[in-house]
Structure 1
């Protein structure tokens, strides 16, 4: 970590994005305080649904844009869109036309769709290859801490000042992020590749048409790159499955069960344990050095089965908290190894689209999973659903290891049309 923070470019990138994370979580809390009292919880849910839907629809397009243009510029544009959405919340969250409030939500969703792929892919331009695993570890852990800090800050500020004034703090965080991104000025990855390898007609996207046709062609190129690596496709599918049997149940069932069994304050302690586990797991993931990082990652996911077990069986409160911490630590470790392996596996010119596809596969169906989970629980009961979730988690986790490349998180035989940098890294390995 000391080596990372010696880099002024990385330090600026990290500080700007951590500040933005704090502001994003603060807005989630403040938005509820603005919308619910005057418009009701149904409108608040609609706002979140519009934001999530727009992000899901535009996420792959965001990956195309991140690979086509400067990633720091794309992130800055995303910040401007989200800033416009925050201003819309400021004026229309409590009063005014509902359409304008939903338009503000759509702006923040579009900004997130641009930001996420560009942010993941930009790390490869900011950090040298030997430090990228540690950079992803720090990114994952500090996002967790930043989100918690934003929620706590919102709670403290809402106790003393009005929600609209609290929302202005998020505006200030976007200004900090924009300043750091303008200072970074990352070159477009194709221009950077051309400067190293020389302009070549056979480079991916070199002769792509412009406009919508060109964007669709580049999106297909990203899909082809993923499909040529079955282990990546399988793990993205695994993420989709586990959204329904891990993330959605955690969002819905853990708060309900913990409060029903252990009291109204129990979920706060469970959340704190989960946060601590995530931070520890992601930092440990940055220290894993193995030729089989995929095996480490799958073993790290295995403790996630403990939370469904604790949902199905009445256990002591400390055990419920420990299960949440262990599972969250495993997810944090997995994410670090997964993201850093994707960065090594794919040419830099397509990483924006790859990270967009990963996000779409892992969380694109999350709104549906959140809606379906309560219905399934009402139909079959908490204990049977939790038992089914535990079985599916174990099967999907260790079943993926049967696909060649999963244990190594790498394709042993790469195709010949990779970028020169990727070919050189394969030869070195």
Structure 2
């Protein structure tokens, strides 16, 4: 970590994005305070749904843009778009016509679709390969802390000043992020690879480049399987947890219980991501799968009435495993794929992992009403174990790398010659 923070380039990148994370979480809290009292929870849900839908639709295009142009510039443009969304929220969140508010949400979602692939891929240009695992560990852990700080800051400020004035603080965080990104001025990765003269323009060109990213992923079956694993686990476990954990914890232990569970989960995520940065093994995929396995403790606690401290401990241990997994997974993708396609790869990863989350959030209450919390939790635990350890049967998963055939094959070829 000391070696990372001695780099002025990485320090600027890190501080700018952590500041932006604080502002993003502050906006989520303040937006609820602006919309719900005057327009109702239904409109608040619609705003979040529009933002999420636009992000999902444009995410792959955002990966193409991140591979075509300077990633720091793409992130800066994304910040400008999201800043425009914040201004729209400031003007229309609590009053005025609904359409401009939804348009502001759409702009924010478009900015997120540009930002996420560029941010993941930019790290390879800022940090040398031997430090990327530690860089991801610091990135994941401080984002969790930044989210908590943003939520706490919003709560403190809302207690003293009006929501619109609180929202202006997020404008300051975007300005800080923009300054660091303008200072970085990362070169386009395509410049190093040389110009391409064979690609079509316009929408056909975007679709062709998106297809190239998909082909790169399909060439590596272990990557495809792990992206599918993320889709399955988000649908059956991580997505439903957003609904079931607060619902069950408040029903069993009281209205303040979810706060304790959330704090424990956040702490576990920070610890797990930092530990992930210290894993040094020829089989990081096996470590990552073993780290995911304790996530089944939360479904067990949903199915069985346990003390609150045990519920909190389950959330902390499971979240630590997810944090460790994410560090090993993202750093392995950086090593596996050429820089020229990493924006598209990370866009596909985000789309595969979280594309079904809105559906999971909508379907979970219906399934729970039909079969009950305990059977659904047992199903989630079984799906988690099968999808986690079943993925190890695919060559390359245990190593988080594509294995090349050496030894006997090379000898046989030499003998024939």
Tell me the TM-score normalised to structure 1 length: 0.93
Query: Matches of 1:184 and 1:214 in 2, distance apart?
Result: 28
Query: Matches of 1:191 and 1:233 in 2, distance apart?
Result: 28
Residue 288 (structure 1) aligns with: 279
Query: Matches of 2:414 and 2:55 in 1, distance apart?
Result: 35
**CA deviation vs aligned residue, 1:117-152 (integer Å, no higher than 9, x gap):** 000000000001110000000110011100010000
Change in 2 beyond 3 A, CA 1:428/1:210: farther
Displacement after TM superposition at 1:192 (Å): 2.8
Secondary structure (helix, strand or coil) at the match of 2:186 reads: coil
Change in 2 beyond 3 A, CA 1:316/1:58: same
Residue 77 (structure 2) aligns with: 77
Change in 2 beyond 3 A, CA 1:41/1:9: same
**CA deviation vs aligned residue, 1:278-334 (integer Å, no higher than 9, x gap):** 000000000000000000000000000000001000111111110000000000000
Query: Matches of 1:361 and 1:110 in 2, distance apart?
Result: 18
Change in 2 beyond 3 A, CA 1:185/1:386: same
**CA deviation vs aligned residue, 1:241-282 (integer Å, no higher than 9, x gap):** 001122122100010111111111111000000000000000
Query: Matches of 2:415 and 2:152 in 1, distance apart?
Result: 48
Displacement after TM superposition at 1:424 (Å): 24
Alpha-carbon RMSD across the aligned residues, in angstroms, is 3.9
**CA deviation vs aligned residue, 1:381-417 (integer Å, no higher than 9, x gap):** 0000001110110000000000000000000139xxx
Query: Matches of 1:255 and 1:352 in 2, distance apart?
Result: 34
Residue 271 (structure 1) aligns with: 262
Query: Matches of 1:343 and 1:421 in 2, distance apart?
Result: 28
Is the CA contact 1:242–1:393 (under 8 Å) kept in the aligned structure 2? yes
Query: Matches of 1:273 and 1:427 in 2, distance apart?
Result: 61
**CA deviation vs aligned residue, 1:9-28 (integer Å, no higher than 9, x gap):** 00000000000000000000
Displacement after TM superposition at 1:62 (Å): 0.1
**CA deviation vs aligned residue, 1:51-105 (integer Å, no higher than 9, x gap):** 0000000000000000000000000000000000000000000111100000000
Tell which deviates more after alignment, 405-414 or 390-399. Answer: 405-414
Displacement after TM superposition at 1:428 (Å): 27
Displacement after TM superposition at 1:365 (Å): 1.1
Is the CA contact 1:347–1:422 (under 8 Å) kept in the aligned structure 2? no
Residue 201 (structure 1) aligns with: none
Change in 2 beyond 3 A, CA 1:419/1:239: farther
**CA deviation vs aligned residue, 1:149-169 (integer Å, no higher than 9, x gap):** 000000000000000000000
Tell me the TM-score normalised to structure 2 length: 0.96
Runs of 4+ in structure 1 off by over 6 angstroms are 418-429
Change in 2 beyond 3 A, CA 1:141/1:37: same
When the two structures are aligned, how many residues end up with a matched partner? 414
Query: Matches of 2:78 and 2:3 in 1, distance apart?
Result: 29
Change in 2 beyond 3 A, CA 1:57/1:421: farther
Is the CA contact 1:244–1:373 (under 8 Å) kept in the aligned structure 2? no
* Structure 1 unaligned spans of 5+: 195-206
Residue 155 (structure 1) aligns with: 155
Change in 2 beyond 3 A, CA 1:75/1:344: same
Change in 2 beyond 3 A, CA 1:242/1:226: same
Change in 2 beyond 3 A, CA 1:215/1:147: same
**CA deviation vs aligned residue, 1:155-211 (integer Å, no higher than 9, x gap):** 0000000000000000000000000000000000011344xxxxxxxxxxxx21221
Is the CA contact 1:347–1:419 (under 8 Å) kept in the aligned structure 2? no
